[in-house]
Amino acid sequence: MPITELLVGGLLLGGLYALMACGLNLIFGVMRVINFAHGELMAIGALSTVSLVAGYAFPFWAAVILVPMLTAGVGLLMHRLVLQRLANAPMIMTLLATYALSTILVNAAILTWGGGYRGLPGVLGGSVNLLGVNISVSRLVAFAVALGVSLAVWWVLEKTRFGRAVRSVSQAPELAEISGISIEQVRNATFALGAAMAGLAGVLMAPTFASDPQLGVRFLIKAFAVIIVGGMGSYPGAIAAALLLGIIEVMGGYLTGAVIGSALLFLLMLVVLLVRPRGLLGVGART
């Protein structure tokens, strides 16, 4: 297989990892919450897309709009009903709470959709030739939308009033509150945005990957590897690391097999933890 094909395949996979990891990192950066339920929001996004498109004949692009709104609502409920009440609790308490929420969402998904696999193989069919490589339209669209949304959210965080409020709450919540910023409103909006990004990742995965209630668990583990390599709380670090790890996984999988290819991600994660615990572009711990 030509190296160009491996690189392109890795970048396409990395785009999805970026969207997933950026939402997770956004929540951590503002709230210092490691959200174990983030993957289940992605799984709900994928399964809801299958239901809307295959079950109710919605156009795929309608799911791109509607499903992130659904997962944003679910995420907002999770935050307001559970995590907001644990805002001053030790981190282990929020970890256990998000793990419990993850388990609840997995079982809710099984009750709703069953435990089997579902997919949308006929959606976004066809292929295009890029750099001499035939790429399926579904993968190309997923990459373009995922990376485009990730970069757009980064721009919002860097250039807008909302972004300045998010950075203020992330870096100095006490000073942000004194300056008139509503910390809870920013946290609510941030959690909903991160949940919407997870749901959108699920939408984009639905035409390419077989979806089941455990889908989110598998991708969440890789999203954690991405944010550890890129740096906890670092948005650009998450994007860069996602693309890098996507390439490593695809190339490693081709050279050594799929299982070893995935293991290489976690080997790199361990090396980064040992050599540079803050990650490649990490922001460090908040004091």
Give the residue from 111, 121, 109, 139 showing the smallest Cα distance to 212: 109
Least-confidence region, from 23-32, 73-82, 131-140: 131-140
Q: Look at 77 and 29; give whichever has higher pLDDT.
A: 77
Least-confidence region, from 5-14, 165-174, 221-230, 256-265: 256-265
Q: Per residue, what are the HEC states of the chain?
A: CCHHHHHHHHHHHHHHHHHHHHHHHHHHHHHCCCCCCHHHHHHHHHHHHHHHHHHCCCCHHHHHHHHHHHHHHHHHHHHHHCHHHHCCCCHHHHHHHHHHHHHHHHHHHHHHHCCCCECCCCCCCCEEEECCEEEEHHHHHHHHHHHHHHHHHHHHHHHCHHHHHHHHHHHCHHHHHHCCCCHHHHHHHHHHHHHHHHHHHHHHHCCCCCECCCHHHHHHHHHHHHHHHHCCCCHHHHHHHHHHHHHHHHHHHHHHCHHHHHHHHHHHHHHHHHHCCCCCCCCCCCC
Does residue 287 register a pLDDT over 60? no
* % the chain with pLDDT above 70: 97
Domains and CATH numbers, the chain: 3-116+130-275 (1.10.3470)
Does residue 281 register a pLDDT over 90? no
Give the confidence band of 132 by pLDDT, cuts at 50, 70, 90: confident
pLDDT of 283: 57
Measured between alpha carbons, how far is residue 211 from residues 20, 151, 156 in Å? 15, 26, 31
Does residue 195 register a pLDDT over 80? yes
pLDDT of 259: 67
pLDDT of 258: 66
Does residue 245 register a pLDDT over 50? yes
- The answer to whether the beta carbons of residues 3 and 11 sit under 8 Å apart is no
* Residue pLDDT, tens place only, 50-72: 999 998 999 999 999 999 999 99
* 178-192 mean pLDDT: 92
Q: Look at 83 and 132; give whichever has higher pLDDT.
A: 83
Does residue 285 register a pLDDT over 50? no
Indicate the pTM of the whole model: 0.91
